[in-house]
Structure 1
Amino acid sequence: MRAEPGRPRVRAGSVAATALAAALALTGCSGADPADVAVTPTATGFGGQAPVDGSRNGIETVDGPTALRDVLRAVRSRSVVATGTVTELVPDPAAGNGTAAREGSGDTVPGRTIRFAYRGVPDDSSLRLTVGDVTLDARRRGDEVWVRGNRAFAERTGLDDATTGRVCVAAGSSALRTFAPFTTPEDLLQALLGADADVTLHPGAVTGSGKAARAQVVVASGSSPVGSLEVSAVGQPLPYSLRAADGTGTVSLSFSSWGADLGLADPDDVVDDC
């Protein structure tokens, strides 16, 4: 991603930077949000393999790539409610020229924030997404998506009527590809934790018991833990949260209602149907 004038370049090599690089190019708007704070990983240490007692799925005993593959496979066709934020950290203007902040002194403040709320399965879902000054509300059924958004969205996509109601577009249209990988939970997890993210995963400790047992998968950049992916240690290894933070930004994702009937409504306020 090309750095904007007067803005720091988002460096590669972290889960936060991967998400930011995927979407912050959409907007030049900056808005500090003091509610978005750094997250401390809940799991520490690598390689802590707990015994499998027969009731668990063994996700804590496999290597990182295998764990991610199994998680993505579990996510693929199940309904879910997924919400989250990705917040950019920028040098604190009060810290002089920002050099100390860029070197990791901690003199940073929240910058632009991506917020999303997703419900459903990939071919029957609703998505609300805010990227800086751009807002999107999408309702997908099969290969068709009814979208609406604000003026900034219309300017980015050329869908002028989307400011007055929903406009139908193809699921593979450039208007929606612009917002990848935030259009499905599987794509988002793959982008944040997959091979292109330059982070490593280290399945470790299991907490809780019975159906509430959770495995903590440490997310690391180099030798340093930067976050934790919490997945079910029983049945399918479905994710429940992802928390990560470093000098480039913070990521906070939550997943719930796996497999539930979410009762999505028909597209409303349609001004340009399929």
Structure 2
Amino acid sequence: MTAIPQGRTRRAALVSAMCALVVGMGAGCAEDPDAGTNGVGKLPAEQIQAKTRTAAGSVDAVRLSGAVVTSGRTYKLDMRLKADGGTGSVTAQGATFHLLRVGEELYLKADAAFWNHEDGKSDSDTAAAEKLDGKYVKVPTGDPSYKKFSVFTDKDLLLDGLLTLHGSVKTDGHHEQSGVRTIRITGDGGHGGTLDVSLEGEPYPLRLVRAGGAGTLSFSAWGKDFALEEPAKGETVDYGKQLPTS
């Protein structure tokens, strides 16, 4: 067996000792967390935020799921959105309904219990609710429900309102969401919200924790198109200028 020169042994031992010392001090011999990424993890937080907003606005489709708290009410969302509309489910106050918007046309589909959940309704009201069971009800543009629910189907409006961190924006380390490496940025130390931004491929937002406990949302299927069509006439009910009271 060939003997290893003592000088080489001493150098190897010295390198090992230096690495142990550096690691003990909380720094380097570890793998670079930004190696092989899109590089945004090395940028200042303000630039990361700007890049993720640009990336989100540059594609036509996204899936959004999670909870949004607004005006004291929690809405659980599972929506697919693109430039000309969106489709998916919304749950609020224990009731789940389906939203579909194609262009300016907004439809709401729910079961009879959704339309007839109030006590004291007459038999005629109950009969009307049963006729709406599982049907797409066209929401008139002048009805208060149109503005209230159409926002959940508007990709640009929804993302513009959501992808905003409040207060001083800073980075908060490297993380992972659904197997994808991320860089996290926070507003006001987390009190103004936190946003995980993908370090793989485009810097899309992947997870948002809204300020003030106003909900947590996940984003996926960026740029993946999907079919968006108006329901068949046999599946639709048009109530004219005002929806029935729900």
Task: Give the TM-score, by structure 2 length.
Answer: 0.57
Q: Does 1:202 align with 2:202?
A: no
Aligned residues: 189
Note if contact 2:208-2:218 (Cα within 8 Å) is conserved in structure 1.
yes
Q: Name the counterpart of 1:259.
A: 223
SS in 2 for 1:75: helix
Compute the displacement of 1:152 (Å): 7.6
Q: Name the counterpart of 1:218.
A: 186
Compute the displacement of 1:59 (Å): 5.5
Compute the displacement of 1:51 (Å): 9.0
Q: Name the counterpart of 2:82.
A: 121
Note if contact 2:65-2:217 (Cα within 8 Å) is conserved in structure 1.
yes
Q: Name the counterpart of 1:191.
A: 161
Q: Does 1:79 align with 2:56?
A: no
Q: Name the counterpart of 2:20.
A: none
Note if contact 2:207-2:219 (Cα within 8 Å) is conserved in structure 1.
yes
Q: Name the counterpart of 1:147.
A: 108
Structure 2 unpaired stretches of 5+: 1-31, 118-127, 241-246
Task: Give the TM-score, by structure 1 length.
Answer: 0.52
Compute the displacement of 1:80 (Å): 2.0
Q: In structure 2, give the amino acid aligned to 1:139.
A: L
CA pair 214-112 structure 1, distance change in 2 beyond 3 A? same
The 1-side partners of 2:166 and 2:210 are apart by 14
1:23-81 Cα shifts (integer Å, max 9, x gaps) = xxxxxxxxxxxxxxxxxxxxxxxxxxx997685242651343x4444323322333222
Note if contact 1:59-1:237 (Cα within 8 Å) is conserved in structure 2.
no
CA pair 176-189 structure 1, distance change in 2 beyond 3 A? same
Compute the displacement of 1:117 (Å): 1.0
SS in 2 for 1:128: strand
Compute the displacement of 1:169 (Å): 4.4
Note if contact 1:181-1:191 (Cα within 8 Å) is conserved in structure 2.
no
Q: In structure 2, give the amino acid aligned to 1:256.
A: S
Q: Does 1:272 align with 2:242?
A: no
Q: Give 1:13-52 correspondences, 5 Å limit.
A: none
The 2-side partners of 1:174 and 1:127 are apart by 20
CA pair 212-192 structure 1, distance change in 2 beyond 3 A? closer
Note if contact 1:61-1:204 (Cα within 8 Å) is conserved in structure 2.
no
Compute the displacement of 1:230 (Å): 0.9
CA pair 79-193 structure 1, distance change in 2 beyond 3 A? closer
With a CA cutoff of 8 Å and minimum separation of 6, indicate the structure with the bigger relative contact order.
1
The 1-side partners of 2:86 and 2:190 are apart by 36
Alignment RMSD, CA only? 4.1
Compute the displacement of 1:204 (Å): 4.3
Q: Of residues 70, 74, 78 in structure 1, which corresponds to 2:51?
A: 70
CA pair 232-266 structure 1, distance change in 2 beyond 3 A? same
The 2-side partners of 1:68 and 1:152 are apart by 44
- Structure 1 or 2: more helix by fraction: 2
The 1-side partners of 2:150 and 2:171 are apart by 27
The 2-side partners of 1:54 and 1:189 are apart by 28
Q: Which has the larger radius of gyration?
A: 2
The 2-side partners of 1:171 and 1:54 are apart by 49
SS in 2 for 1:182: helix
Note if contact 1:85-1:253 (Cα within 8 Å) is conserved in structure 2.
yes
CA pair 193-180 structure 1, distance change in 2 beyond 3 A? farther
Note if contact 2:184-2:195 (Cα within 8 Å) is conserved in structure 1.
yes
1:107-130 Cα shifts (integer Å, max 9, x gaps) = xxxx85321110131314203222
Note if contact 1:57-1:235 (Cα within 8 Å) is conserved in structure 2.
no
Percentage of identical aligned residues? 25
Q: Does 1:238 align with 2:204?
A: yes
